[in-house]
Structure 1
Amino acid sequence: MSALVADDEASRTPSPEPVTPAADPADVARARLLGRPMPTDRLRGWLVTAFIGVLAGIIRFQNLGFPTDKGTPVFDEKHYVPQAWQMLRNGGVEDNPAYELTVHPPLGKTMIAIGEYLFGYNGWGWRFTGALCSVLMVILVVRIARRLTRSTLLGAVGGVLLIADGVSHLQARMGMLDIFQAFFVLVAFACVLLDRDQVRDRLGRALDEGWLHESVYGPRLGVRWWRVAGGVSLGLACGVKWSGLYFMAAYGLLTLAFDLSARRTAGVRKPWVAVLLRDLLPALWSFLVLAVITYLACWWAWFGSETGIDRHLVETMGTDPWSVTKGAIGSLFNYHEHVLNFHETLKTNPEKQHPWESKPWVWPMSLRPMLYYYDGSTLGCGEAKCVSATMLIGTPALWWLSLPMLGWGLWRMVTRFDWRYAAVVTAYLAGYLPWFLNLDRQMYFFYATPMAAFLVLGLTLCAGHLLGKEGDGPERRRTGLLALALYVGLVVANFVWLWPILNGDSITEWRWQAELWLPSWR
Structure 2
Amino acid sequence: MSGITLVFPIVTLLFILLFFLGCPAPKTAELGSIGRRSFSRRDALVLGLIVIIYSAVAFYNLGDTKAPQSFYRFEPNESVELDLGREQAVSSLMLYTGLNTGSYTVEYSHDGEYWYTAATVEQNYAALFKWLNAEFLDGTDANTRYIRLTADKELYLGEVAVKGENGSLIECKTNASELFDEQSVVPDYQYYLNSTYFDEIYHARTAYEHLQGINPYEISHPPLGKLIIAFGIKLFGMVPFGWRFSGTLFGVGMLPVLYVLLKKMFGGIAVPACGTAIFAFDFMHFTQTRIATIDTYAVFFILLMYLFMYLYVNGGRLRHLALSGVFFGIGVACKWTCLYAGAGLAVIWLIHWIKLLKGGCGAKRFIKNCLFCLVFFVAIPCLVYYISYFAYGTARGMHGVGMFFTKEYADIVIENQKFMFTYHSGVHSEHPYSSRWYQWVLDIRPILYYLLYFDNGTRSSFGAFLNPVLCWAGLVAVVMCAYLAIRRKDRISAFIVIGYLAQLLPWVFITRTTFEYHYFPSAVFLTLALCRIFSLMRTGARCWRANVYGLTALSVILFAVFYPVLSGQPVNSELATRLLKWMPSWPF
| Shorter-chain TM band | 0.7 to 0.9
Cross-structure match for 2:569:
505
How far off its partner does 1:38 sit? 3.8
Task: Name the counterpart of 2:448.
Answer: 371
| Equivalent in the alignment of 1:76 | 199
Structure 2 residue matching 1:389: 3-state secondary structure: strand
1:400 to 468, 472, 488: 472
| In structure 1, distance between residues paired with 2:470 and 2:300 | 19
Letter in 1 for 2:42: R
Per-residue deviation, 1:413: 0.7
Question: 1:305-331, CA deviations, whole angstroms, 9 ceiling, x for partnerless residues?
Answer: 4269xxxxxxxxxxxxxxxx9543234
2:410 maps to which of 314, 320, 329: 329
Counterpart in 2 of 1:86? 209
Match of 2:141 in 1: none
Structure 2 residue 518 is the aligned partner of structure 1 residue 447: yes
Deviation at 1:49, TM superposition (A): 2.0
Aligned with residue 53 of structure 2, among 52, 55, 59: 55
> Which letter maps to 1:254?
I
Q: 1:346 aligns with which of 424, 427, 430?
A: 427
Cα distance change, pair 509–335 in 1 and its aligned pair in 2 (3 A):
closer
1:252-291 matched pairs, under 5 angstroms: 252-262=346-356, 264=358, 268-270=359-361, 273=363, 276-291=366-381
Stretches of structure 1 lacking an aligned partner (at least 5 in a row): 1-33, 203-223, 309-324, 379-383, 470-475
Q: CA deviation at 1:263?
A: 5.8
Counterpart residue type for residue 339 of structure 1: M
SS of the equivalent of 1:397 reads helix
Counterpart contact for 1:256–1:275, Cα < 8 Å:
no
Contact 1:56 1:138 (8 Å CA) reproduced: no
CA change 1:70–1:257 in 2 (3 A) is: closer
**Aligned to 1:122, which of 202, 218, 239?**
239
Q: Deviations over 1:47-82 (max 9, x none)?
A: 222222222211211211179447220111111111
Whether the aligned pair in 2 keeps the contact of 1:68 and 1:123 (CA below 8 Å) is no
Query: Which structure has more helix as a fraction of its residues?
Result: 1
- 1:358 aligns with 435
Matches within 5 A, 1:38-437: 38-39=36-37, 42-65=40-63, 68-69=191-192, 71-90=194-213, 94-96=215-217, 101-199=218-316, 224-262=318-356, 264=358, 268-270=359-361, 273=363, 276-306=366-396, 327-348=408-429, 353-377=430-454, 384-437=456-509
Write the letter of the residue equivalent to 2:388: C
Amino acid of the residue matched to residue 454 of structure 1?
Answer: F
Contact 1:256 1:283 in 2 (8 A): no
TM-score by length of 2: 0.68
Equivalent AA in structure 2 for residue 192 of structure 1: M
Who is 2:16 aligned against?
none
C-alpha contact 1:157 1:488 (8 A) present in aligned 2: yes
Aligned partner letter, 1:52? I
Question: TM-score by structure 1 length?
Answer: 0.76
Cα pair distance change 1:503/1:70, threshold 3 Å: closer
Cα 1:296–1:502 change in 2 (3 A) is: same
Alpha carbons of structure 1 residues 331 and 387: separation in structure 2 relative to 1, 3 Å: closer
Give the letter aligned to residue 498 of structure 1: F
- For the residue of structure 2 that corresponds to 1:432, the secondary structure is helix
Give distance in 2, aligned partners of 1:171 and 1:95.
23
SS in 1 for 2:351: helix
> 1:402 deviation in Å?
3.5
Query: Take 1:37 and 1:288, find their aligned partners in 2: how far apart are those partners?
Result: 37
In structure 1, what residue type is equivalent to 2:341?
A: F
Matching of residue 468 in structure 1 with residue 539 in structure 2: yes
Match of 1:18 in 2: none
Percent identity between the aligned chains?
A: 24
Q: Tell me which residue corresponds to 1:15.
A: none
8 A Cα contact 1:191 1:226, kept in partner: yes
TM-superposed deviation, 1:37: 7.7
Paired residue type of 1:374: L
Instruction: From the superposition, tell whether residues 281 and 372 of structure 1 become closer, same or farther in structure 2 (CA, over 3 Å).
Output: same
Please give the secondary structure, in 1, of the residue aligned with 2:500: helix
| Structure 1 letter corresponding to 2:557 | A
Unmatched runs of 5 consecutive residues or more in structure 2: 1-31, 65-189, 399-405
Aligned partner of 2:73 in structure 1 is none
| CA distance in structure 1 between the aligned counterparts of 2:209 and 2:221, rounded to whole angstroms | 15
Q: Secondary structure at the match of 2:238?
A: coil
Offset at residue 39 of structure 1 (A): 3.6
* Structure number with higher strand proportion: 2
Tell me if the contact between 2:446 and 2:465 (Cα under 8 Å) persists in the aligned partners: yes
How far did residue 276 of structure 1 move? 4.2
* 2:178 corresponding residue in structure 1: none
Residue deviations 1:193-251 (CA, integer Å, cap 9, x gap): 2222344xx7xxxxxxxxxxxxxxxxxxxxx1121111111111111111211111221
Count of matched residue positions in the alignment of Structure 1 and Structure 2:
423
Quote how far apart the aligned CAs of 1:445 are: 1.1
SS, match of residue 367 in structure 1:
coil
The one-letter amino acid of 1:357's match is S
Further displaced range: 67-76 or 224-233: 67-76
The alpha-carbon distance between structure 1 residues 385 and 37, as it changes in their structure 2 partners (threshold 3 A), is: closer
What are the superposed Cα offsets for residues 378-429 of structure 1, whole Å, 9 maximum, x if unpaired? 6xxxxx3111111212111111124312211111111121111122221222
Amino acid at match of 1:520: S
What CA distance in whole angstroms lies between the structure 2 residues aligned with 1:455 and 1:307?
46
CA 95–230 in structure 1, closer or farther in 2 if over 3 Å, else same: same
The amino acid of 1:397's aligned partner reads V
> Aligned AA for 2:305?
A
Distance 1:275 1:422 in 2: 24
| Residue 43 of structure 1, CA deviation | 2.1
User: How far is 1:434 from its partner?
Assistant: 0.7
Letter in 2 for 1:484: V
Which letter does structure 1 place at the counterpart of 2:51?
A: G
Deviation at 1:275, TM superposition (A): 6.5
In structure 2, the partner of 1:322 is: none
Report what 2:24 is aligned to. none
Contact 2:222 2:334 in 1 (8 A): yes
Aligned-partner SS, 1:184: helix
- Give the secondary-structure state (helix, strand or coil) at the position aligned to 1:417: coil
In the alignment, the residues of structure 2 paired with residue 274 and residue 48 of structure 1 have an alpha-carbon distance, to the nearest angstrom, of 45
Counterpart Cα distance in 1 of 2:262 and 2:355: 21
Deviation at 1:259, TM superposition (A): 3.5
Equivalent residue number for residue 515 of structure 1 = 580
